[in-house]
Amino acid sequence: MIALTLAEAAAAVGGTLDGADPQAVVTGTVVVDSRQVQPGGLFVAVVGEQVDGHDYAAKAVGAGAVAVLASRPVGVPAILVDDVVAALGRLARAVVERATGTAVVALTGSSGKTSTKDLIAQVLQRRGETVYPPGNLNNEIGHPMTALRVEPATRHLVLEMGARHKGDIEYLTGITPPSIAIVLNVGTAHLGEFGSKEGIAEAKGEIVEALGADGVAVLNADDPLVRAMETRTKGRVVLFGESRDAHVRAADVRLDDTGRPSFTLITPAGSAPVNLRLYGEHHVSNALAAAAVAVELGMPVDDTAEALSEAGALSRWRMEVVDRADGVTVVNDAYNANPDSMRAALRALVSMAGRGPERRRTFAVLGEMRELGGDSLDEHDAIGRLAVRLDVTKLVAVGGREAACMELGARNEGSWGEESVLVSDADAAIELLRSQLQPGDVVLVKASRSAGLEKVAEALLADGAAQ
């Protein structure tokens, strides 16, 4: 991070020093796990559900931490505050304010945030040092931890922002005021929390409200609820999408035999061909958002298209495609799921199977989508029906009531016993797949993270490695 003395850090967070040298300098990383402490770093004593970071303060200082950010004396040099998590956010704000040459790019959306963040980061790295979070560190702890990795040479800070409640994104933008804010889409993720898509849009739009007059709002022209956010920002609006009036758009979208999209990127500065390495047509929209950011930051269109074409999937369990030695393809998309991402994954599965007499058999191993509130059963029913309409060879619904509703939806849409089946858990799904998979089949594994269906994908890959 940008170096701060303990006196400066204490002033930034409104804390007091306890047994610490005011002139000692924090030069290393800021961490919440004492096992990750590096010499010159700062240890943040977060109180979790299972572990109290204060109990590890002495260990952290022994490992080289300059001090501990804590809410009570810990017997080693510390900055004492009332609320450690809030203080972490204030410290990150102080560091970002010192990073005067850093463009802060923030994005949100109901689905695709992490994949798009990874695309943006890979594209912008061509233009200079870029800091971005691994995975989806997008909450009140992971977000400031990422921002604190900014150094004087950092040119771009790319952040994704999640929202489980109204005001969450407003809080995060208060830590890292964006110069470019992106809204990908408004779907039904966390519908149970917000009550309606309009409620979700209200929360997501907080990101563009944080822009100043010199900021840029990058909005999805193809999503009416996102496009309506034009009126909620002081910044200049750039639209992306396949709509004819989008400033950054895609033309001639097509999929290859493995389900990877290609298109012509069209921008005010010119056009260029893009051939994505990612699987599924839904990544076209993600790539357009990344392109809009790159163009706004002065990257030539040809360089942008080339960077997009070379970018890969950085975060685990998100359309992670592996071919086994016997020709079975395993698509591990088990990190999370909501109705929009589930539909996109199913369409990607079908496109990967190809067409005609050589079409490969497809298995959709799907678990529960959480936090959908009163719409949960209807949404699961709809996914089952879609699997049949897309002609997925076999739906394997995993779990309890919601999975049963998904499988029933498939039956009501016209499936019969061999096309859809309900199993109780991941172990049962593994057993069934082992008995039915044949060389050349394509298997999609997807559910909300808490369902733990990555176990299915890992077992299938282990089987392939053992062959």
Residue 9 pLDDT level (bands cut at 50, 70, 90): very high
**β-bridge partners, 263:** 274
Q: What is the mean pLDDT of the chain?
A: 93
* Distance separating alpha carbons of residues 52 and 43, to the nearest angstrom: 12
Instruction: Give the tens place of pLDDT for each residue, 247-301.
Output: 999 999 998 888 889 999 999 999 999 999 998 888 999 999 999 999 999 999 9
* pLDDT mean over 354-360: 85
Instruction: Give the tens place of pLDDT for each residue, 379-416.
Output: 999 999 999 999 999 999 999 999 999 999 999 998 76
Instruction: Give the tens place of pLDDT for each residue, 22-69.
Output: 999 999 999 999 999 999 999 999 998 889 999 999 999 999 999 999
Instruction: Give the tens place of pLDDT for each residue, 171-223.
Output: 999 999 999 999 999 987 666 677 788 999 999 999 999 999 999 999 999 99
* pLDDT higher than 90, residue 465: no
Tell me the C-alpha to C-alpha distance, in Å, between residue 64 and each of 37, 38, 42, 243, 351: 7, 6, 9, 54, 52
CB 404 within 8 Å of CB 423: no
CA of residue 168 relative to chain centroid, distance: 16
CB 218 within 8 Å of CB 236: no
Residue 466 pLDDT level (bands cut at 50, 70, 90): low
Instruction: Specify the pLDDT at position 238.
Output: 98
Q: Percentage of residues in the chain with pLDDT exceeding 70? A: 98
CB 12 within 8 Å of CB 85: no
**β-bridge partners, 79:** 17, 69
Instruction: Specify the pLDDT at position 149.
Output: 95
* pLDDT higher than 70, residue 417: no
Instruction: Specify the pLDDT at position 14.
Output: 97
Instruction: Give the tens place of pLDDT for each residue, 160-177.
Output: 998 888 999 999 999 999
Residue 135 pLDDT level (bands cut at 50, 70, 90): confident
* pLDDT mean over 147-161: 96
* Token pair of 259 as six digits: 């389900």
**β-bridge partners, 26:** 4
Amino acid, single-letter form, for residue 162 = G
* pLDDT mean over 349-355: 90
Instruction: Specify the pLDDT at position 134.
Output: 84
pTM exceeds 0.75, yes or no: yes
